[in-house]
A and B are shown apart, each in its own frame.
Chain A
Amino acid sequence: MQAKKRYLVLFFAGVCLLLLFCFGGIHVPLSRRGLSRRHARTPHPGAQWRRSPGAVQPYSACEQDRNDDANDHISPRQKRDAIAGLFSGKHCRMESCFDFSLCERNGYKVYIYPHQKGEKMSESYQNILLSIEGSRFFTPDPDRACLFVLGLDTLDRDQLSPHYVHNLKAKVQSLPLWNDGKNHIIFNLYSGTWPDYTEDLGFDIGLAMLAKASISTEKFRPRFDISIPLFSKEHPRTGGERGYLKHHTIPPFRKYLLVFKGKRYLTGIGSGTRNALYHVHNAEDVVLLTTCKHGKDWQKHKDARCDKDNADYDKYDYREMLYNSTFCLVPRGRRLGSFRFLEALQAACVPVILSNGWELPFSEIIDWNTAAVIGDERLLLQVPSTVRSIHQDKILSLRQHTQFLWEAYFNSVEKIVLTTLEIIQDRLLQHNARSNLMWNSLPGGLFALPQYSTYLGDFPFYYAKLGFTAVIHVVTPLVSQSQPIMKLLAALAKSQYCAQVILVWNCDKPFPAKHRWPVTSVPVFVIEGESQVNPHPNPALLRCDYCSIYIVSVEVEFAFTVWRSFPDRIVGYPARSHFWDSNKERWGYTSKWTNDYSMVLTGAAIYHKYYHYLYTTYLPASLKTMVNQMSNCEDILMNFLVSSVSKMPPIKVTQKKQYKETMMAQVSDAPHSRASRWADPDHFAQRQTCMNKFANWFGTMPLVHSQMRLDPVLFKDQVSILRKKYRDIERV
């Protein structure tokens, strides 16, 4: 019994020892084995990175720079000078290949070489040159230019093309101002030819910048070259069509998910992706059609699928597919870019780009992820599941961005050219250049001029986006007689939103003595003569012409509260309308009382100060001189401008139809000369002419009709007058 117990105890002790061994002892050899494994020459592929708490040495950034003795390396000035020699050709950058001093001296002006007789020039290139000539950057004097544009057509450098200009190399070299291409920009749409379609232009461009379609990232010199979209010769020069999107659909899906209709290259460069499209085609919501029928000898390369493909191809209409699809495939062709890109953009069909290595159009400034799906040719088979996974909110946003970008930068040759020029200008402006936000949000970079201000809050467009608020600033150009002015001044100053009054004294008479001024709670400044209104942080601009002095204070007050809700539009009182006169085939102007309006008179209107700046800088001299000579139509022009920026009608507030009726009655000493101009039939005819001149320059009719006006909430309601805040408005 005793022995039994002893054995039992011994057995137990043995078990305990075994346990002990298992817990601690086995562990040691295990970990040793782990170590030895890591000592092996190559680690096991499954080995993991283990956090090492031991690294204590800093990588030493601070010390480093101190130790690199500041005076050791060569003078930075010499280094800068050396750059120009070091980096040319395919390493060109603005720093090394562009002469900034020309632009500093002359301002940003563009010169076009005269057209040489006998040189053929394609319609597209003519349009490009005409757009530059019509722009505010153009100068006819080469000595005053900063940028040079060739008079030789370089758009089509495909030797097999009818537009190919021969012997360009010699012609370019012989140009007197060529200067190895410094400060030149060369436009190109097509380069290279069958079979390899290289991006070689067939002549040495030297230090010139390249504005080229279908440019590849390998060839593209960042912040030097500009990628432009491929556009057809039918692309309108000015104006341009609006986007196809007229209204949203919720949910934002169209009949097809993804479509494509185009040529299939049986062999050669760019054939890979298009040959594989049939894998993804499902004939239901993903419709990708190709045809082999193109070129003379397609039968020779014809493959087994050609006949079926060709038959399917003819069953669908390209336009119908384009307008009824959520996404449109934009695969590379022989070259990287294709017409399909702009077509899809206009059709509000979100482009799915399959073109590896294509530097997208205006990639320097446009964030294409907002408007397109950038795919990878290697992942063609994933494309359907990728686009299916895109959330409908995102689709809604992508689609609107296609429309914004199309209308802001692509819908006419002029827009494409101006965008190109503005991008280069931004590079010259350096720290004053537009931010990405200005390029990528409404109304787009062409309407947001950075020379005005670099502060986003100074523009009427970004309040909501950045949560800014605005305050008022008043400018009143005046003509004569001081008494009504003083009345106005007193009235304006009462307005709680008025932060400052600036009088532009445009009159032969001397300015009234200061003691005769009314007592105001806001500062009043006087600018004599036709000087430029000085920039001031307060963005709202109340323009009061002479004839509108009698606008009572409450009306200003009310109009201003309205304007704060619509800072990017004109808010005014009397309204006018335009219509298409189909008999005379021209635009008509009417001041009759109608059920709608598309303009408000700017005699008394509130609009953002920025539009004032845009008016003076953006519009061409020709229109402004015309307005000045007639001393008429400036309000129409302003309405055109604002509507083309905002794409929206102006806003009419209160009942007021005309200035004169009430004014004449109220103030007896009003000068009849000015007031009577409204009755003048010539005056009216002039305005008619203006309308058509303006529409012609804008290339389209930007004005939009509205059927409503805004009144105070209790306007003419049968409630106690004491409850109404703007009771005086009803009395007018």
Chain B
Amino acid sequence: MEKMTRVSTSNGRTMFCHLDAPANAISVCRDATQVVVAGRNIFKIYGLEEEGFVERLNLRVGRKPSLNFSCADVMWHQMEENLLATAATNGAVVTWNLARPCRNKQEQLFTEHKRTVNKVCFHPTEVNMLLSGSQDGFMKCFDLRKKESVSTFSGQSESVRDVQFSIKDYFTFAASFENGNVQLWDIRRPDRYERMFTAHTGPVFCCDWHPEDRGWLATGGRDKMVKVWDMSTNRVKEIYCVQTIASVARVKWRPERRYHLATCSMMVDHNIYVWDVRRPFIPFATFEEHKDVTTGIVWRNQHDPYYLLSGSKDSTLYQHMFKDASRPVDRANPEGLCFGLFGDLAFAAKESLMTAPQSVGDVGRKTYPGGDRRYPIFFFKKPDVTEQFAQVSSALSVFESEAGSGVGMDWFINTAQSYLLSGKPFAELCEHNAQVAKRLNRPQESTTWTMLRIMFSEPANPSLSTNHNLNKSGNLPLVNSFSMKEMSAALNERNKENRQDNLHSLETNLNNNDENEETEGSEGQAEYLFGDAELDDDDLYSMEHDNQAAEEPEYLLPQEAFPLRHEIMDHPSAPEPVQEKPESPHVSGSETESTCLTPMESFSLISVSQLLFSPHLPPKFFCPIVKEMLCYYAEQGDVQMAVSVLIVLGDRIRKEIDELTQEHWYMSYIDLLQRFELWNVSNEVIKLSTCGAIMCLNQASTTLHINCSNCKRPMSNKGWICDRCHQCASVCAVCHHVVKGLFVWCQGCSHGGHLEHVMEWLKQSKHCPAGCGHLCEYT
């Protein structure tokens, strides 16, 4: 018989047919040639042909179909091919005999259950034994030769969701319950279950005995899990657990495949999955044909693992071919990568990729090119084979950040703490931040700050300039060296410009020096210049024209403004003289140090006079570049830089960048800061931000709940009097007045008062000012 059925199903195809109504359950007859579909409004038998399903019989007969036809479950007898049993939603258990000559095939009707019957099950080897499980918490065993149940099993008022006879043990059956329990019963002992264990949280919708392994029971529950239990031992042991994405409505072991089982879900998810229980994270195969939840699944033949039948709420009946199933494993990414909390990195991949030690090293190196200074150097720790599957085995490697190089984000924390964002003049802020960046070995950021200062400093403040003009020439090498080293593509353009600027400045420097010699007369002359600026300016410019004949005179004016202003405003940067000397050849033309002191004043005069021509052009001119730079930093993941610059520049740049981007940057930075627990910095950033959405972050969740110190009840009212005990809460223990400002109290005795009062008191005494005798401790 077995052989014959195998032959008969050796070929076939995925096929389906429409039913008239949603199905609740399906069952297949022993020789796998017919399938019965049952539902609230359907009860039909279909023949399984090569070409498709053929309707054989409609069991729903009669003018007014009774609720006995409204089936929650159906089962075809596996011994007697004419015998069917259904569980009706009204609590009836009905058996049907297809051999009956009349249209109505109903044979017997048992109405002993008071609530919906969820499950019926024939004994696998005993012809006349039928078991039912109902919502009313009872399981009943029927002998089909009698009119009534032969025994009743009580689940102690918990609803029964599934009952299954053990395939191997003649007398045993399992029942699953709505409260998450599974019970094992001996059919001969209706008074008490053999054993019970809690399998799931929430209802256990289904269970299924393993067809070969005597002790294995699979259960599926509303908690979205499928668990496999080993019953053969003294204590029931969970041996496998599969996590699905929706509550599990049915579970069926796959024939001939020891570790495979099929599941479908009760809600939301319409697919049928076949799992290898040893690989619980990804389905072995998926059938995705149904458009609504699948309500019944059954393997077509007990010995054929390739055909699966399923009925669904979408009113279709499908035969799925295993070869047509989709295999999620094939589409899954076989490598995994994840950062740990402390900068560790875990990397899992197929073992074949990771076997040779050299290749492992390569992987490590590939992931972390040593060039990037910001990441710590990783080294290979251990190849750790964690999971050994039938199909795949993967290796997991953990790369630890090298000890000493620290967490890897130290630079971030340091920077966040050291940057100044407000409270000083713009130039000083830039200068400070540049120093910070430099100290942390981040030359690019450092240079950026310097550049910003150069670009946006206001050319006022001649007084400042005179203080520092000794150092002024030192700026040139700094800027120049930056332009040489800078490799970043995004900044290249600007670098070029800068270099041009520098060239100009060099030239003008030379010019100025020449001039200096000319104007080197007296200070009185300088004053004269002040008064009669225009004339002198003309003179100056004409001189320069000679030097730079190639360029148009009108355009030269603003261009000259930069270098000159550089000269004046650059001084705060004040690089160390040590560095200065070897790099100074650039400035060689200007024998500055000695000459500068006196002529400087004339410099400043010149710059002031030039402001008359182009006071606001330069900062605006730089805005697009700065904007580009900020975007560049943000894209590089250094949102810290972007936000810091944004704050320091303030109005100079804000209008250039759209609100949303700014908000986005702020949010990311604040989020980062908070992850590193830099609350103060994060708060400062929030405070300094100009986005409405950010500023209101500070106003969220500022509620403070207070309990009355007398009656220990929450203070619901505003004000100082507790409305339960009608006393003033939070009274100062020293002066006995209500504290309306800072209130400090001892956590031991909860007495306290005005901060200053308590401080004074504690100078005199260690005991509580309230006189409670407590030795108060304040930190």
Do A and B pair up? The answer is: no
**Residue ranges of A at the interface with B (Cβ–Cβ < 8 Å):** none
**Residue ranges of B at the interface with A (Cβ–Cβ < 8 Å):** none
